[in-house]
């Protein structure tokens, strides 16, 4: 490499060395720095390295130095701390909608944000009971397209499908498009992450209602040149409250329901409904709560799953519905 070109690249190689191979527990000595530069065709002297390190500090790199015979230089801070990267890795590995292949790709990119020694600690497997990775990678592109439409304020069209049993086929579970395969036309307003799934929240002009669609069940999404509608409905729209009311995103009629709960389940109620609940004591072992819910099979399944520790007490119409729901499990 010509000497002038090598000197121009020297700062970049020094930055690369510090970023890839150093951290608070690993540093490079002057001898290692000079050898690394020489391997890359750059001749350098100790004095010039001191000047270069100061230039990189002036540029904003947090370069520190260990003194002594075994000392050296290292990069002391980065945009992400190792603990923060581990949190991101855990979230990726435990997320159902991210495929195994995409998980590996994302984690490999995160490894590039720390030193090579620290990157090895990011390779760990997180096991989450009952969560199966999706096989559908088109969801990433669906999300990107929907974000573009929301940012541009444009309507989208897409086809929406569900899975059904078909024993005449090899796979037995096949994809079936709703609306006879005809596209939906929706004004997109938000994307919601709930219970391991992404949902599009939008305005359906045909019904005049706010509706939601699972992003992984959307196909052939197209951003139109039509401005989106439904702005009046979404002014002050509480997305978190909407998610709480709809639970599994299956619509039911919204109603205030009374619950009788064991005291030890106070945290369960708070996790499900947040602060939007009215609580008062029932007896020494129980408290009562009034909550707004969408009365649906998903709500009943949630109550049933708590094994009698939470009971529906009012209104009577909802109590009867719950009883009828439970009878379906009896032969």
Give 281's strand partners: 287
Strand order in the sheet with 253-262: 278-283, 286-295, 253-262, 310-314
Here the tokens at position 102 are 């995409």
User: Of 2-11, 261-270, 283-292, 320-329, where does mean pLDDT reach its minimum?
Assistant: 2-11
Would you say residue 127 has pLDDT above 60? Answer: no
More confident residue, 167 or 47: 47
- Contact by Cβ (8 Å): 189, 234: yes
Burial call 86-119: b when 16+ CB within 10 Å, e when fewer: beebeebbbbebbbeebbeebbeebbebbbeebb
Q: What is the pLDDT of residues 280-299, one digit of tens each?
A: 889 988 999 998 888 888 88
Query: Any idea which fold 138-237 has?
Result: SH3 type barrels. (2.30.30)
Q: β-strand 184-194 against 197-204: which pairing, if any?
A: antiparallel
Query: Any idea which fold 3-75 has?
Result: Arc Repressor Mutant, subunit A (1.10.10)
- CATH number of this structure's domain 246-327, picked from the four choices 3.30.390.10, 3.40.91.50, 3.30.70.240, 3.40.50.1980: 3.30.70.240
Would you say residue 328 has pLDDT above 70? Answer: yes
Candidate ranges 61-75, 169-183, 189-203; pick with highest mean pLDDT? 61-75
The reported pLDDT for the residue numbered 155 is 98
Q: What is the pLDDT of residues 307-320, one digit of tens each?
A: 999 999 999 999 99
Would you say residue 249 has pLDDT above 50? Answer: no
Q: What is the mean pLDDT of residues 213-232?
A: 94
Indicate the pLDDT class of residue 247, thresholds 50, 70 and 90: low
The reported pLDDT for the residue numbered 130 is 46
The whole-chain average pLDDT of the chain stands at 87
Residue partners of 286: CB distance under 8 A and separation at least 6: 260, 261, 262, 263
Would you say residue 101 has pLDDT above 50? Answer: yes
Which run of H or of E encompasses 281?
Answer: strand 278-283
Would you say residue 129 has pLDDT above 50? Answer: no
More confident residue, 331 or 80: 80
The pTM of this model reads 0.61
Give percent above pLDDT 70 in the chain.
89
Q: What is the pLDDT of residues 20-68, one digit of tens each?
A: 999 999 999 999 999 999 999 999 999 999 999 999 999 999 999 998 8
The reported pLDDT for the residue numbered 132 is 57
Would you say residue 248 has pLDDT above 60? Answer: no
Give percent above pLDDT 90 in the chain.
53
More confident residue, 273 or 290: 290
Got the DSSP string for 74-117?
Answer: EE---SS-HHHHHHHHHHHHH-TTS-HHHHHHHHHHHHTTS-HH
The reported pLDDT for the residue numbered 269 is 85
The reported pLDDT for the residue numbered 172 is 61
Domain residue ranges in the chain: 3-75, 82-122, 138-237, 246-327
């Amino acid at each position: 490499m010509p000497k002038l070109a090598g000197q121009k690249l020297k700062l970049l190689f020094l930055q690369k060395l510090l970023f890839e191979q150093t951290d608070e527990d690993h540093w490079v000595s002057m001898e290692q720095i000079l050898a690394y530069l020489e391997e890359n065709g750059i001749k350098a002297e100790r004095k010039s390295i001191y000047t270069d390190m100061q230039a990189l500090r002036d540029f904003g790199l947090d370069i520190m130095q260990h003194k002594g015979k075994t000392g050296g230089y290292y990069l002391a801070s980065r945009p992400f701390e190792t603990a923060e990267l581990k949190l991101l890795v855990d979230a990726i590995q435990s997320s159902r909608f991210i495929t195994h292949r995409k998980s590996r790709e994302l984690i490999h990119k995160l490894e590039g944000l720390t030193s090579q020694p620290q990157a090895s600690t990011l390779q760990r497997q997180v096991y989450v009971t009952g969560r199966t990775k999706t096989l559908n990678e088109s969801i990433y592109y669906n999300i990107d397209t929907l974000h573009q439409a929301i940012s541009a304020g444009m309507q989208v069209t897409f086809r929406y499908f569900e899975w059904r049993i078909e024993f005449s086929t090899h796979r037995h579970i096949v994809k079936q498009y709703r609306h006879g395969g005809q596209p939906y036309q929706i004004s997109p307003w938000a994307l919601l992450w709930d219970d391991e799934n992404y949902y599009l929240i939008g305005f359906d002009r045909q019904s005049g209602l706010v509706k939601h669609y699972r992003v992984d069940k959307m196909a052939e999404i197209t951003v139109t040149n039509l401005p989106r509608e439904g702005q009046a409905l979404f002014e002050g729209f509480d997305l978190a409250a909407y998610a709480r009311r709809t639970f599994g995103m299956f619509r039911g009629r919204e109603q205030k329901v009374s619950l009788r709960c064991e005291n030890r389940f106070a945290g369960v109620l708070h996790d499900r409904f947040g602060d939007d609940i009215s609580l008062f004591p029932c007896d020494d072992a129980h408290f009562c709560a009034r909550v707004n819910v969408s009365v649906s099979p998903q709500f009943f399944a949630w109550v049933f799953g708590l094994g009698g520790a939470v009971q529906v007490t009012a209104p009577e119409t909802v109590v009867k519905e719950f009883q009828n729901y439970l009878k379906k499990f009896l032969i």
